[in-house]
Amino acid sequence: MKSEDKTIWSATPTPFLDGGALDVAAVERLIEHNAAMGVTGLFVAGSCGEGPLMPSRQRAELVKLVKQFAGDRMKVAAQVSDTSAARACENVREAEDAGADFVVIAPPWMPHLCKRDFARRYFGETIEAAEAPVGLYILRQQPGMGIDLPVWLEFVDHPKVKLIKDSSSMPEYIAALTPVRARRDDVMLLTGYEFGVVEAVAAGYDGGLLGTGILVAGHIRRALRALARGDREEADAWQRRSNDFLYDLFARDLGLWLGGLKYALVRQGLFSTEWMHHCYKLAQTDRDRIDAALIREAEILRPDAD
pTM: 0.95
CB atoms within 10 A of CB 203: 16
What's the mean pLDDT in 194-204?
Answer: 97
Per-residue pLDDT at 305 exceeds 90: no
3-state secondary structure of 90: helix
What pLDDT digit, counting tens, does each position of 128-163 carry?
Answer: 999 999 999 999 877 677 899 999 999 999 999 999
Check if the beta carbon of residue 221 is closer than 8 Å to that of residue 1.
Answer: yes
Can you count the helices (H) and strands (E) in the chain? 12, 8
Confidence grade of residue 5 (pLDDT, cut at 50, 70, 90): low
Cα 84 to Cα 158: distance, rounded to the nearest angstrom: 20
Is the per-residue pLDDT at 276 higher than 90?
yes
The whole-angstrom separation of Cα 146 and Cα 247 is: 31
**Single-letter amino acid code for the residue at 27:** V
Q: Helix (H, G, I), strand (E, B), or coil: what is residue 138?
A: strand
Dump pLDDT digits (tens) for 90-132.
999 999 999 999 999 999 977 677 888 999 999 999 999 999 9
Domains and CATH numbers, the chain: 7-232 (3.20.20.70)
Element spanning 202, H or E: helix 197-203
